Each structure stands twice: as C-alpha cells, then as structure tokens.
Structure 1
Amino acid sequence: MQKDREGSAGPVSSPSARVRHRRQRTSEVAESPRANGTHLLVDDRNKYKSMRTRIWSSVWMIGGFILILYMGHLYIWAMIVVIQIVMAKELFNLLRTTHEERDLPGFRLLNWHFFFTAMVYVYGRFLSRQLVNSVSSDKFLSQIFSNLIKYHMLTCYFMYIAGFVWFILTLKSKMYKYQFGQYAWTHMILFVVFAQSSFTVGNIFEGIFWFLLPASLIVINDIAAYFFGFFFGRTPLIKLSPKKTWEGFIGASVTTIISAFLLANLLGRFQWLTCPRKDLSTGWLSCDPGPMFKPKLYSFESWLPLWVMDYYFPWKEVTVLPVQKHALVFGLFASSIAPFGGFFASGFKRAFKIKDFGDSIPGHGGITDRMDCQMVMAVFAYIYYQSVVIPQQNSVENILDQILGNLSIEEQISLYKQLGEVLYRRGQGGVSYL
C-alpha cells in the first residue's frame, strides 16, 4: 500500500509511466481554462493592457493601409501578395519538423514552387485584360503577352506537373508519411488561404470600392465585437472561441450593418474608388460612375404621415446611392457568416494546440489571425459582384470594354462583320453595316 501511494504521489519510475504522466499533465494544462483562454474577456484582469497593445497596433495597420490605398491599385495588389506570402510562411512552418527538413534538403523549396504556380495561374486569369491593355501600344509586346495568355492554362499545368514529378523523385524510404503529409498540407494552404484571398485582387481592379467596403466591414465587425464583448460580454457564443460572446456578436452585427449603409454612401462619391482600373498603370482615374453610384433623392412625405414628419423628422428627403442596398447585403454577410472564418481558425489552432499562427502583429498574433474572416468575405464579395452587380451595370461601354480587352484584333474584326450581317438581315434602315 505504501509503495502504491508513493507511486501515485511521488516520482514516476518506469519510462512508460513517465510518458503517461507527462501526457496527463499536458492534457490538464491544455484543458485548464486559463491556458485555453476560456475565461471571458470581460473578466480578464490584464484586459486593459492587452487593449492598449491591440489599439496601438491597429492604429499603425490602419494608417499604413490608408497610405497604400492612396497609392493605388498596383500597390494594393502588392500588399495582398505580401500578405499571402507571409500567411503561407506561417502555415508552412506550422507542420515543419526540423529533423526531417535536415534530411530532405530543398524539400521546402518545393512548397514555394507550388505557391508560385498557383500565383501565376490565379493572377493570370484575373489580370489578363489589364495586362493586354498595358502593352497594347507596343505590337511586339502585345503579341508576346497575347500568346502567353492564350497558352496560360497549359503553361500553369506543366508548371504544376514539374512540381509533381519533383515531389515523386524526392521521396525517401522511412519518410513517406512526412512527405505526403507536407504535400497534402501545401495543397490545403493553397486552396484555403491563397485561392480565397486572391479573389480580393479581382475586386480591386473592378473598382477599389468593391475591395475596400467588404474589407472595412470585417474590420468594423471585429472591432465592434471586441469592444461590446470587452464591456458587456457575459454569455459565451461558441466553444471553439471561448472569448466570443452573444453580446459582442449582436452588438457587432447591428454596428456593421449600419456602418455598411453609411460607408457605402461615403465611399461611392469618389471616382478614384469607384472607377475600374483597365490596365496596370498608376495614373489618376476618371470615369462615368454609372447608375449604381449616382445619387437619388427619396422623399419621406409619401411614406410617413404629416404629423410624424412635422414632429420627428427635421428633414423631408434624403439622398441615397443605389449601391447602398448592395452594401446592406455585404454588412449582413460580414456580421453573420464571415465570423465563421474566425471560428474555423480557432478550431484549427486548438487542433494544433497553439495560441496564434504567428507573432508578427503585437496584440493580434500573426497575419493569418487577422485574415481568417477577410478570406471568406473576399470570395463572397467577388461572387456577389459578378452574379448580381455586373448584370445591373451592363451598358454599351462595359460590353465594348470586354470586347477590346479580351478579343484579339482579328476576333474583333470578325465580330464586327458578323454583327453587321445580323443588323442587315434584321433590316435596320435597309443599310449594310459592313
């Protein structure tokens, strides 16, 4: 009995017992409320110190972001690329094992080869029109880039196959599990991180407005959820992210939707933000904003009784941009669905028993910690714009833009002749348009 009591209370002697004991201690630490941050933010004793650090970092990030916005589309694209590289680095290092990496020289380079291949494929598809427009004045360069775009998919496929063959040739006995795990991990990163965040670039060149509004709503939602949870949070929202509360979620949702409506009206009045960038230049933009960004005057008199107007409404009419109704959809998505990107990231970190993906941003963690919801929002903003907004903006100018940007000279001439024949057959004035 004495020996049993010593075995249970004192040092553990056998190796297997020591391993079990160590695992038990690790499990206890991992499950402890303070280690996992399961205490609510409103009860955190160090919350004011943490808030100061977080606010200071946020001010620097927002200031830098505004500067890059002012510099224009190309610089915003460059910022997105840098963010993607840092995110990929953080995630590549998450499953990296030093011993195996030492025995596989050059294996890490293979991950970046796949990353670069994905970059060429995605941005080649998103920016082909802008690239052709940028070199259209030079016939030689225009011909080269037209051919590159024509065989773009085939080129990217062989780039990927080169990496695939490279991977097969580097397989080593007794390291198959690690190598195939890294191969799968790399492709997951490219799909979950790079592919989603790349939709942001498609939004940028359609008009900075379609990038800035969704991105700003995620920031507003995150800040509002933090402060509502900081001061009022009492009811836990989800176990994956214990510091999130229903009070923070609801308060942030209302704030985000209202902000979306007001912010769209503000941003929609600047041509620099609403005009699409049709090439890769950095000059100032000027264009017809289109009906989506032209103010409309709405009167309250037809909606409300006169006595309500006289006593409660000092103004009789209000100016609204049609784009504001789309902003409400963005606000609803940013406050109700996009946060699940953060919950996904929280579950991911718990699976690997880490607090943050990195430590590059004081008070916030790594770049990946700040971009989890942004990626979900970027995909929605792009799909919504392409599916709902563009059909409402169809005009002769936009269609002509697509023809000039996506068709070669020979294809444009052929289209012109075919269109002339169609109009002639329909008897438009009895005149041949050829």
Structure 2
Amino acid sequence: MQKDNTTSALPTPAARVRQRKRSNEVPPEASKANGNHLLADDRNKYRSMWIRARSTVWMIGGFALIIYMGHLYIWAMVVVIQIFMARELFCLLRKTHEDSHLPGFRLLNWHFFFTAMLFVYGRILSQRLVNTVTPDKFLYKLVGNLIKYHMVTCYFLYIAGFMWFILTLKKKMYKYQFGQYAWTHMILIVVFTQSAFTVANIFEGIFWFLLPASLIVINDIAAYIFGFFFGRTPLIKLSPKKTWEGFIGASIATIISAFVLANIMGRFQWLTCPRKDLSTGWLHCDPGPLFKPEYFDLSGWVPRWFPWKEVSILPVQWHALCVGLFASIIAPFGGFFASGFKRAFKIKDFGDSIPGHGGITDRMDCQMVMAVFAYTYHQSFVMAQSCSVEMILEQILMNLTFEEQQDLYVKLGQMFRERQFRQS
C-alpha cells in the first residue's frame, strides 16, 4: 500500500525552527567572498544603507521619546532590551531535537533570568524604593522586610532552579543539559553585568547614561559613513567590512561630538539631576560645579571680526573627552568580539528584529563595554568620595529599622542638648 505523502508538505514547528536557523547562517561561499569584500565596493550598498538608515531613524526617535519620559521609562527600556537579548542568546545554542525530549526545560532558563533580575535590581533600587514609600508607615514596613529578606529570597529561588535542573536530568542527555546550564549562566553574567551598570548610571543622572550611549551610536554611524564612502584598507579580519578609514574618521567624529554634546546636555537639570526615588516628577537640583559654565576670553586669540569674543565651557566637557576617547578606540572591540563570536557559530546576526541591523544583541555589543566604563569612570573621577549628609541619611534609612531610627533621633537630641548646655 502506497504511503500518503501529502502531509509532508506541511512544515512542523521543529522544521520551521531549523529553516529559520539555516536562513541566519552564513553560506561558506558568501563568507569566503565577504572576507575580501569592502563596503565601498558592495553593489547593493545603497539599498542596505536605505534600510539601515530607516531603522536608525525609528530607533533614535523612540529612544529620544523614552529619554524625555524619564528615569523609570528608561529603566523599563533596559529591561525590555535585556529580555530580547536573553531570548536571542538562549536560542543560539538551542537544538530542536533535544528540546523535544525535555518538556519544560526552556522555562528553567527564564527562571534563572528573572531570579537574576530580582537580585540585581533589588540591590540597585532598594534605597530609592525606601525613599518613595517612606511617608506611608505600612508600605515602609513592607518594603523594609522585602529588602531585609531580599538576598535570602533570591538565594532560595536560585536553589529551586538548581534542584529543578537536577530533577530534569535524563539519560543520554546529560552533556546537552549541562552545556545549556553553563550557557545560561554565561548569558546572565553578560546581560546583567552590563545592565546593572547601565541602571546605576541612569539614576546617577540621565546624562551619564545618555552621553555614553549616544557616543556609541555616533561612532557606529560615523564608521559606517566613512567606510561607505572612503573605506579601502581592511581593519581587522573578524569584521571584513571594517576599514581603517572608517575607524579613524569615526574616532575623530566621536571625540568632537562628546565635547559638544556634553555642553548641550549639561545645561538641562532633567538630565543632570540624580533620581533619589522611583517617582516620575520633574527634577530640580543644584547642578554642582561640573555643570556650571566657566567663561574664557578669546579676544587675544581671534581676529576682531570674529563674532564670539567669549566662550563658555562646562567642566564636565573635559570628562566627556575621556568618555569619547574610550567610545571611539576601546568600545568598538566589543563589536569585534561579537563578530568573532558569530563567526564561531557561523551566523550572520544574533537575530532579525531590527531591519538592516540584525538583532538587539548586535546593537548592544559595544554598549555593554561602554556602560561598565561609564560607571567606573563616574565613580572614580567624578563622584565625590567624601561622606555627605545625604549619604549618611541613606545608610540610616536603608540599614536601620523604624524603631532604631527613633532611638537614634532621641540620642542625637540628647547629645545636642548636652553640647548646648556645655557651651552656655
């Protein structure tokens, strides 16, 4: 009896996954040809440039809107980016055949992901959450208990995932399962290391998030444009279309942009004021010496017909030069690392969610390097190292219970009365 083959035309979910994976792989012939194929000599470069430019405009517009909406919305954007990055990276080493024999195994990845999210953001935002609910006694006690048991909660969530993993181990699948377990933890380290520093930068002031992120975008666009029109000398074998002309031109453009953008951004309190709570109200603060303009007389340096006899420079602009230097020379190596990683797995992009750009991870490779540097630089060279009244109050609110704070208040009152009595 002849078998009915009509159903073979309908692709199964596993077949669709394999087909999508194959479509993202780089054919050996194209990869080989691409090794000596510069962007300036690409016949389809104008079509790809139009697609890339259109996506870039949409991304920049949406990014500007979120920046205007404020700190919490920027944090929400970071969380969404994290989820998409994790999804792309989780799928990278996924094998459909093996997964079909492990029902529910993929949920374990997301269990570890959200456990890590709770741990990281709980530590970063705990004090700001306390500042937000302080007027309400019930919420204050509730949040205080959540913060007090935050670490042990995250620990037991992780242990639950660990036990879940052990209980799902199957014979002949050990190697694949342990490989996925290690891959999941590596993804969490990569994603949350970057995001933790990014969120910390946001609440120190949007300026310290927006400037580094903008410089990476400017460097990427400038490298593409200079390489598009002038690229002739290959830069690195990992990225065949990257050229020295694009790299040098982008470096100059990025450093100049850093100096100019810092002067523009530094004049808006919405961007420079740190956020001490989780509210969405407008910010007003003392900008501090870094954001107060210093005026320099140019009369002895420029001709008489020159319209500007005086120039104002914010001290933060000198720090911006250092950030721009890093963004133009060091941060691109994050992209080179990602290129080598993709070549190792023989894929063109991590995903296809952004037309002309690839996936979210393809756009965040340099941002991950930049976010860590921006936080490290801010803490080392910008943030005041001495103790302040605000810092002490934050420690009191974070580490003492309401009753202990009342006792401290009474003891401080007694000390002040005794000191006043002695002086009188």
**CA–CA distance in structure 1, aligned partners of residues 267 and 393 of structure 2:** 23
Q: Name the residue aligned to 1:132.
A: 130
Tell me by how many angstroms 1:195 deviates.
2.1
* Equivalent position of 1:165 in the other structure: 163
Distance in 1 of aligned mates of 2:37 and 2:421: 78
Helix, strand or coil: the match of 2:383?
Answer: helix
1:241·1:346 contact (CA, 8 Å) conserved in 2? yes
Which residue does 2:308 correspond to in 1? 315
User: 2:394 is matched with which residue?
Assistant: 402
2:326 corresponds in structure 1 to 333
Is the aligned partner of 1:235 residue 2:233? yes
How far apart, CA to CA, are the structure 2 residues paired with 1:429 and 1:264? Answer: 51
Unaligned runs of at least 5 residues, structure 1: 1-25
Aligned to 1:355, the other structure's residue is in SS state coil
Alpha-carbon deviation of 1:396?
4.2
The reply on whether 1:32 has 2:32 as its aligned counterpart is yes
CA distance in 2, matches of 1:253, 1:421: 60
Match of 1:346 in 2: 339
Letter in structure 2 aligned against 1:104: L
Q: Which AA in structure 2 matches 1:267? A: M
Whether the aligned pair in 2 keeps the contact of 1:403 and 1:412 (CA below 8 Å) is no
Aligned pairs for 1:216-295 within 5 A = 216-295=214-293
- Per-residue CA deviation, residues 291-317 of structure 1 (Å, 9 max, x unaligned), is 22111112346xxxx4x4336965333
**Structure 2 CA distance for aligned equivalents of residues 312 and 126 of structure 1:** 54
Q: Secondary structure at the match of 2:131?
A: helix
- After superposition, the Cα gap between the structure-2 partners of 1:403 and 1:193, relative to the gap in structure 1 and judged at 3 Å, is closer
State the Cα deviation string for residues 138-168 of structure 1 (Å, max 9, x = none).
1111112112112222221111111111111
Matches within 5 A, 1:3-402: 29=29, 32-34=32-34, 38-300=36-298, 306=300, 308-310=301-303, 314-391=307-384, 396=388, 398-399=390-391, 402=394
CA distance in 1, matches of 2:305, 2:233: 36
Distance in 2, matches of 1:326 and 1:188, equals 33
CA distance in 1 between partners of 2:171 and 2:140 (Å)? 49
Residues 210-258 of structure 1, C-alpha deviations (whole Å, 9 max, x = no match): 1111100100010011001111111111111111111111111111111
Identity percentage of aligned residues: 73
Q: Distance in 2 between matches of 1:231 and 1:423?
A: 72
Query: Match of 2:105, as an amino acid?
Result: F
Aligned partners of 1:334, 1:420: CA distance in 2, in Å?
Answer: 51
Find the residue that maps to 1:32 and give its secondary structure. Answer: helix
CA RMSD in angstroms comes to 2.5
Distance in 2, matches of 1:115 and 1:294, equals: 42
Contact 1:197 1:374 survives alignment (8 Å) = no
Residue of structure 1 in register with 2:16 after alignment: none
Offset at residue 414 of structure 1 (A): 6.1
CA contact (8 A) 1:214 1:381 kept: yes
Question: 1:135·1:142 contact (CA, 8 Å) conserved in 2?
Answer: yes
AA aligned opposite 1:171: L
Structure 2 distance, partners of 1:424, 1:344, is: 63
Per the normalisation by structure 2, the TM-score is 0.88
| Ranges in structure 2 where 5+ consecutive residues have no aligned partner | 1-25
Task: Report deviation, 1:27.
Answer: 8.8
Supply the distance in 1 between the matched residues of 2:106 and 2:287 (Cα, whole angstroms).
47
Give the CA deviation at 1:406: 2.7
